[in-house]
Structure 1
């Protein structure tokens, strides 16, 4: 059964016109590299600020907010769904905590984990494990970094991590979760040079995590970080997402800067799409781990949005949901597949 909390929210609506700045050097054919194909819309409510984790070839998506159910404005959801490319969407047991958006999630082994978030008024630090075999939730040790929302979550080498986000101010700290002992510990090195941020993205490749984008006091962050838990100093700075090199390869890099984007990894590359940097973005950027360069791909062709979810299952990458504003605005229920090996077809 769906449970919702009706809340008044004071927010802003972000409106954008799709455009390219003159600094973008890409040709038309270059921007048609990759095809967007409509997939199954979620069978639950449209939503922004949802959370997602993947176990095997199944994605689990839930929570978030919807702008208008029963005449109420911008309220939170507690329903949860699984998605398989073979069977589509299936409704699961509701999340047992307070309905919320902006929660952080990851998966370790055969379990999914989710915690933190907010309901538009209250922030949370509670933390839960989902067992897909039993179809049930279990409360676990609360997140020790304090209540927050719009942080990032990821798992590397059997440990989970949640960090950054917003409380009464923007945060940069990270904590590590050990599922064997159900205990949290402070992740070293995060308070040295790591920029505070909310609305960032995290992705994992070859047992390393990467953190990029986000904002601090409405200023888009420019730094890009690699996290390797096997190192004494686990955080390594990568090249900033700025136009700082005399060459032309980074001429459009400032467009990568944004908050509330969605990211996924497919075939040795990370993809960043949608989000907001004062206006909603449709541009798609791909990071090549082998060359360490960012390049553009076919822009997202649907309605502009922030706070979408993205995941890769069965070799296919999906993006969907989201809203027309940051934690407010019209919400969406559509889902698209991105095929990086096809030329864009507007009829897909």
Structure 2
């Protein structure tokens, strides 16, 4: 599947099929027709199909849990081993079943908090230790109870903010696992938002997308924890005049994001749709490039995480259909529609 919005321009040649030694050979330059990146289907997520779950990476494993299956808010948690391509069930999350929560890792621990249990917005907060497969309740998030927030870890601190508590939010708090304390830090620049994305490159966080009172936001911000400052970067759509010419179409909500090295990736979700687009961010140039489309079914409210040089997308939904498939995103491979 190739998006008509692709930035990359390709020169396609009419191919003459030449039979040589029983092999079909395409004449012309193959490099001109190669797409960027490839999706590979992997072992299905082993829990029930769900959307709006949380995910994070600790070491060489990805972790996925909580969420909503169309009937129940869930508490089960799972670890993915990319070497064996298998899932391992972990200890259940001890809080109320929820969707729209935040999950992130700091060092060798994972953290999950906030969300919605079907009745109440939440602000409780928990730590997961994979070495003992145990959960410990920590100090409550000090902001208002909410769902649809963002979270990320940088060095020894975790960060949680934005979301929806009955109003749209842009506040941000830092969590210190050593002291089990929270501190209010500078709020995200620009618009309030819920269901946005965040990823971390070289010790700085990048935040964008999301919705605020029915408006899909296109502002994009870089956070430097060393100075506690936000810097606006190039916007995520071509709706306003910018200093470069490109077809940007990344606005939307309930997308997934992850980082590989010095590149960030935003995928799926969209403006009330179950999307398949994947965008790659170059932090050096502050520019985006649309790469191959996600080869699984279009979806929103999925989970994304990265292990090494591979990104992963799993779960999510399209309308009332919930997913449990897992796909590896290889941004440097050549596209192969048959993977």
- Same fold per superposition (TM over 0.5): yes
Distance 1:338 1:19 in 2: 16
Q: Deviations over 1:241-261 (max 9, x none)?
A: 1213467632x21x1101000
Q: 1:234 to 1:248 in 2, by over 3 A?
A: closer
Q: CA deviation at 1:171?
A: 0.8
Unaligned 5+ residue runs, structure 1? 1-16, 68-73
Q: 1:92 aligns with which of 90, 103, 110?
A: 90
Aligned residues: 316
Q: 1:106 aligns with which of 101, 104, 107?
A: 104
Moved over 6 A (4+): none
Matches for 1:216-231 after TM superposition, within 5 Å: 216-231=212-227
Q: CA deviation at 1:20?
A: 3.4
Distance 1:41 1:170 in 2: 35
Q: Who is 1:135 aligned against?
A: 133
Q: Deviations over 1:276-306 (max 9, x none)?
A: 2133321111110111111110011221101
Q: CA deviation at 1:344?
A: 1.3
Q: Who is 2:23 aligned against?
A: none
Q: 1:137 to 1:30 in 2, by over 3 A?
A: farther
Residue 314 in 1 paired to residue 304 in 2? no
Distance 2:145 2:152 in 1: 18
Q: 1:125 aligns with which of 108, 114, 123?
A: 123
Q: Who is 1:256 aligned against?
A: 250
Unaligned 5+ residue runs, structure 2? 11-31
Q: Who is 1:75 aligned against?
A: 72
Residue 336 in 1 paired to residue 318 in 2? no
Q: CA deviation at 1:324?
A: 1.0
RMSD of the alignment, in Å? 1.9
More strand by share: 2
Q: Deviations over 1:299-341 (max 9, x none)?
A: 112211011111111322111111114xxx2110001111112
SS in 2 for 1:66: coil
Distance 2:43 2:160 in 1: 30
Q: Who is 1:47 aligned against?
A: 50
- Does the 8 Å CA contact 1:30/1:297 hold for their aligned counterparts? no
* TM-score normalised per structure 2: 0.88
Q: CA deviation at 1:236?
A: 1.1
The structure with the largest alpha-carbon Rg is 2
- Does the 8 Å CA contact 1:18/1:281 hold for their aligned counterparts? no
- Does the 8 Å CA contact 2:158/2:175 hold for their aligned counterparts? yes
Matches for 1:1-348 after TM superposition, within 5 Å: 20=4, 25-27=7-9, 32-67=35-70, 74-87=71-84, 88-190=86-188, 193-231=189-227, 233-243=228-238, 244-245=240-241, 249-250=245-246, 252-253=247-248, 255-325=249-319, 329-348=320-339
Question: Which structure exhibits the higher relative contact order, with contacts defined as CA atoms closer than 8 Å and separated by 6 or more residues?
Answer: 1
Q: CA deviation at 1:104?
A: 0.6
